[in-house]
Amino acid sequence: MAERKLRYHLLALFVAAVWGETFVSTKVLIGAGMHPVAIFFIRFLLAYVGIWLYIGLTRQKTRLWYGWKDELVFLLLGVSGGSFYFLAENNALAYTQATNVAFLVCSAPLLTAIFTLLFRRFGKGRFAEGLEDIRLGFPLIGGTILALFGMALVVFDGKGLHLSVRGDLLAICAALCWAVYSLFMGQMSRDYGAVTPTRKVFFYGLLTILPFMGGMQESFSPALLSQTAVWTNLLFLGLLASLICFILWNLVMDKLGNVTSTNYVYLNPVFTLLTAMALLGERMTLMAGIGCAAILLGVIWAGKA
C-alpha cells in the first residue's frame, strides 16, 4: 500500500515540476508576440484533439453527454481549472508584480484545505463524502505555514511587496478557482476515470474562453506559429503540461486526496526557479535556496495531516 502511494506522490511531483516550467514557456511565447488568451486557447485545443486521439487509439468507450447535473459539474471544472483560472492569472500580471501573483496563486492549497473542511462539515452527497478526510491539526497548520513562508522567500527574495488591489484580487480569484477545481475533480475521476473528466475540462475550457478571443489575429499568423521557439513551446504546453499532466493530476487527486495532492502546488515556483536557472541563466540566491527547502519540508509535513 505504501509503495502504491509513493507512486502517486512521485506523479504529483512530476506534474508540479512540469507546471513549474510552464511559466518560463509561457513567458517565451508572450515575448514572441502571442496573446496570453491565445496561448491558452491553442494549448487546450491541442490537448483536446490529443485526448480524442488517445481515446480512439485505446478504443475506450465514452459518451458525449452525462446528464445535466454532471455536465454542470464538468462545466464548473472547465471554468475553474481552465478558462477563468488562466484569465484571472494572466490579467493579474497586467496590474501587479509577477511575484505578487505567484505568491497569491500558490495560496490555492491553503484555500483547498479550508474549503474541504467546510464542505465536509456542512455539505452533503457524494462530493462532500468523497473529499479527503483531513484533520485541522498541528501537521496541517504547521506544514502550511512553513510552505507559505518558503514560498515568500522564493518568490519575493528581497524584492519587497507592492500592493495593487485589482491585480492582487485577480490573483486571489485564480487561487479560488483552483481550490474549487480541487473540490470536485477527485470525485468525478472516481466516477468516470481520469480521461473523461479531463476531456470535459478541455472542452468547457475552450467553450468558455471563446467570448474573450476577439482581436487576436496576429497570435495565429503563420509567420509567428512557424517559429521554432513558438511551436515547440506550444506543443510542450498543449501535449505535456495539459494533456498528460491534467490526466495524471486528476488520477493523483483520486488516489491521494484533494488536499494532499494540491499541497504539491507549493513546489511550482521551485521548479520555475530551477528552469529559469537552466534556460534563462538566472541564479539561485541563499534566500531562495532556504525557501525551496522550507517548501519541500512544509509539503511533507502537511501531508502527514
Q: What is the pLDDT of residues 149-167, one digit of tens each?
A: 877 776 666 565 555 677 7
Instruction: Please report, as a single letter, which amino acid is at residue 235.
Output: L
Which pLDDT value is given to residue 207?
Answer: 97
- For residue 43, is it left (φ>0), alpha (ψ between -120 and 50) or beta? alpha
Q: Is the pLDDT of residue 100 over 70?
A: no
Whether 232 shows a pLDDT value over 90: the answer reads yes
The answer on pLDDT for 200 being more than 60 is yes
Question: What percent of the chain has a predicted confidence (pLDDT) above 90?
Answer: 37
What's the pTM value of the predicted model, to 2 decimals? 0.85
**In this predicted structure, what is the pLDDT of residue 120?**
86
Find the mean pLDDT for residues 282-290. 73
Give pLDDT, residue 160.
56
Find the mean pLDDT for residues 48-57.
Answer: 95
Q: What is the pLDDT of residue 118?
A: 86
Which of the four pLDDT bands, split at 50, 70 and 90, describes residue 85? Answer: very high
Residue 282 has pLDDT above 70, yes or no: no
Q: What is the pLDDT of residue 163?
A: 55
Q: Is the pLDDT of residue 115 over 70?
A: yes
Q: What is the pLDDT of residue 155?
A: 64
The residue ranking higher by pLDDT, 134 or 255, is 255
